[in-house]
Amino acid sequence: MRPNCECAKLLSDERTDAVRQMTIIKGIVAALNILFAIALVITMVTRITEEEQGGGGGGWGIVGGRQILTTHSGGATILDRFVGVIAAGFLVTSLLLAWLY
């Protein structure tokens, strides 16, 4: 018995669409991963450490510190929280890329 040609063509078209969709998803995740990596590098380069804020850096930091990005609660700075979010996004997209490929 020969398989129905229309059925075989329909299955082939569905597979082609699925492959096309997976390629698009892989591209989007890869682009997000690159954006997270660039943002992580930029935020880590511009990050103000405790020593630079005048927290006992032994004279290496700026006198008085730069308190622009600190919160009033005394906890982590806004930039520290942003770095955490960017790092988590980078980790998730990296794991997704490893799983997809």
Average pLDDT for residues 4-23, to the nearest whole number?
Answer: 78
Q: pTM score, two decimals?
A: 0.66
pLDDT value at 51 more than 60: no
In tens, the pLDDT along 69-91 reads: 555 555 567 888 889 999 999 99
Q: How far is CA 31 from CA 24, 77, 94, in A?
A: 11, 28, 11
To the nearest whole number, what is the mean pLDDT of the chain? 78
Q: Using the 8-state DSSP alphabet, how is residue 53 labeled?
A: T
* Biggest CA pair distance of the chain: 87
